Amino acid sequence: MTPATLKMQLISLPPRYVLASMLCSFGGFLFGFDTGIIGPVTVMSSFLSRFGPLSSTVHGLVVSAILIPAAFSSCFAGRVADFLGRPRGISIGVFIFGLGTALEASAVNLAMFIIGRCIEGIGEGLYLGTLLVYICEISPPSKRGPLSTGPQLFITFGLVIGFFTCYGTTKVDSSLSWRLPFILLASLSFVFSTASLLWLTESPRWLTLHGNSVEASTTWDLLGVGHAEREKVEAEQMREMIVEGSGDIDGPSSTEDVTNVTRVHTRQQPRHKGSFRELFAHDVRGRTALALFMMGMQQLSGIDGVLYYAPLLFQQAGLTSSESSFLASGVSALAIFGVTIPALIWADRWGRRHSTIFGGIGLTVVMFLVGGLYAGNAVHANSGTGRWIVIVSIYIFAVIYSLSWGVGIKIYAAEIQPQRTRAVATSLAHGSNWAANFLVALTTPILLARSSFGIYFLFGGCALITTVICALSMPETKGRSLEEIDEVFKSKKFGSKRWNQAIRKLFSQRSGEK
């Protein structure tokens, strides 16, 4: 191969920031695979014969045991990533995740299995939020939307592989039917942990924040980010540092000034940036509250109740055969994966605000429809159209979620934060997500056992509340640099223009009446 040919091949490769984002996104596959296998595994006959029949409470506890440790560890994931760097934080978290899945695969009693899920949750909380932080920080603003949806795409792909892995192994007449999915997951986790440590380049923004501006410039070159976009990001980042440190509103005017400001800022600023106290500073607390609310309510829409307990939901709707319910679960995962691809491509075209509001309306309608059918006793196991409407509605719910909330909210929670608190705020928001997820995973089988329709009205109500609050308080961020987003929040001129005008008009009318 001639040097000219080799050069042409290298030129045709995507920029390294794209390759790094794709590798980083594979961490989402591990989470999706675990979500896809835990529901089917816990209803397999071989699993139940090993550990005994599970009551609805124990069933919910086994599934949700991963979530509270994940919520706890995710609160500290930002500090770990700020101290060690993004790739190291991801690698450590995935390694712990792999240890937990290996323990589950080798479990000889239910307690050992639950302990494995707790260890798995600690690792999951440490790495999952950092994936988005890393991708946001290495991506140019024009590419951040599509690249940041990569983890969600891999999550849905993991769901597909997880469901169909269980569909295949359920026919194995031994404990390998439920152990094999966890063996595969543990193996992939250790491979990804090693790969992320060896091949992921450190975030240039993290390097700049730690005073390594020369290395940051070299890393931008290595990632393949253009000089125009890079210099804009560096200048705006230094402007934020100056504003925080001295109140000066004039940012650096050249790359040399950026380097000098970075050195001075690193020497003079105390090492409390990124602390939990910073999350409630005057210019940040609104964003912190919005991210916590949106990430928590994302789960209270009921998506993981659908994903974790899809076989149970389909059995309740009338697919009494375990094989049929497993297959239906796999088809729902395929639908989710299929619609995530256009959601990834059009993420910046749709915008975060519109997809959140219109997606929330769709989720609300579907949940109220299913709840109404069950409340009206229109769903019968062996006949009637009611059960097929429920089954199709579950698919529609998963599709709407994947097109809207599944893509936009996690990106939004990360990108609205200023540089100094991005890692910590994102990890805390993921903690809110895990805590809400725990409530959903624990209570869904319990509520389904007591009422066929109550859980659907609950999820629909949560989706409706979220939609209204986001319509009132959520600014658009598509196509803006992370620092431009910071300015939008500082200006306090956000939310729906129509809502703001309506509110001002209402107050002016009341003042006139008085």
Average pLDDT, the chain: 79
State whether residue 455 is helix, strand or coil: helix
SS (H, E, C) 9-66: HHHHCCCHHHHHHHHHHHHHHHHHHHHHHHHHHCCCHHHHHHHCCCCHHHHHHHHHCC
Residue 253 lies in a domain: yes
Residue 321 lies in a domain: yes
**Looking at the predicted structure, is the pLDDT value of residue 323 above 50?**
yes
Give the list of residues 6+ apart from residue 98 with CB closer than 8 angstroms, or none: 123, 185, 186, 189, 190, 193
Q: pLDDT at position 248, please? A: 44
Same domain, 119 and 255: no
* Best CA proximity match to 304, nearest among 29, 31, 113, 75: 31
Same domain, 260 and 143: no
Answer with the residue of higher pLDDT: 332 or 194: 194
Residue 11 lies in a domain: no
| CA dist., res. 129 & res. 132, Å (int) | 6
Give 499's pLDDT tier (boundaries 50, 70, 90). very low
Same domain, 58 and 151: yes
| CA dist., res. 390 & res. 306, Å (int) | 12
| CA dist., res. 165 & res. 162, Å (int) | 5
Same domain, 407 and 452: yes
Give 425's pLDDT tier (boundaries 50, 70, 90). confident
Give 271's pLDDT tier (boundaries 50, 70, 90). very low
| CA dist., res. 29 & res. 424, Å (int) | 23
Which region holds residue 482: left if phi is over 0, alpha if psi is between -120 and 50, else beta? alpha
What is the maximum span of the chain, computed from C-alpha positions, in angstroms? 85
Same domain, 36 and 166: yes
Residue 337 domain boundaries: 16-201+277-491
Give the list of residues 6+ apart from residue 242 with CB closer than 8 angstroms, or none: 248, 250, 251, 252, 261, 265
CATH of the domain at 289: 1.20.1250.20
CA distances from 472 to 25, 40, 101, 351, 476 (A): 32, 40, 42, 16, 12
Lowest average pLDDT, out of 271-280, 309-318, 435-444, goes to 271-280
Q: pLDDT at position 365, please? A: 95
**Looking at the predicted structure, is the pLDDT value of residue 10 above 50?**
no
Give 347's pLDDT tier (boundaries 50, 70, 90). low
Q: pLDDT at position 502, please? A: 46
Same domain, 441 and 402: yes
Same domain, 73 and 101: yes
Which region holds residue 243: left if phi is over 0, alpha if psi is between -120 and 50, else beta? alpha
Residue 288 lies in a domain: yes
Same domain, 458 and 479: yes
CB 446 within 8 A of CB 305: no
Residue 378 lies in a domain: yes
End-to-end CA distance of the chain: 85
Residue 208 lies in a domain: no
**How many domains does the chain divide into?**
2
Task: Name the pTM for this structure.
Answer: 0.73
Lowest average pLDDT, out of 84-93, 274-283, 470-479, goes to 274-283
**Looking at the predicted structure, is the pLDDT value of residue 343 above 70?**
yes
Q: pLDDT at position 512, please? A: 52
Same domain, 94 and 194: yes
Q: pLDDT at position 309, please? A: 75
Same domain, 122 and 27: yes
State whether residue 480 is helix, strand or coil: coil
Residue 511 lies in a domain: no
3-state helix, strand, coil in the chain (%, to 5): 80, 0, 20
Strongest mean pLDDT among 193-202, 259-268, 367-376: 193-202
pLDDT tens for residues 445-478? 888 888 778 888 999 999 999 999 988 888 877 7
Same domain, 377 and 424: yes
Same domain, 294 and 443: yes
| CA dist., res. 340 & res. 286, Å (int) | 30
Residue 496 lies in a domain: no
Give the list of residues 6+ apart from residue 293 with CB closer than 8 angstroms, or none: 432, 466, 469
Answer with the residue of higher pLDDT: 439 or 319: 439
Answer with the residue of higher pLDDT: 177 or 236: 177
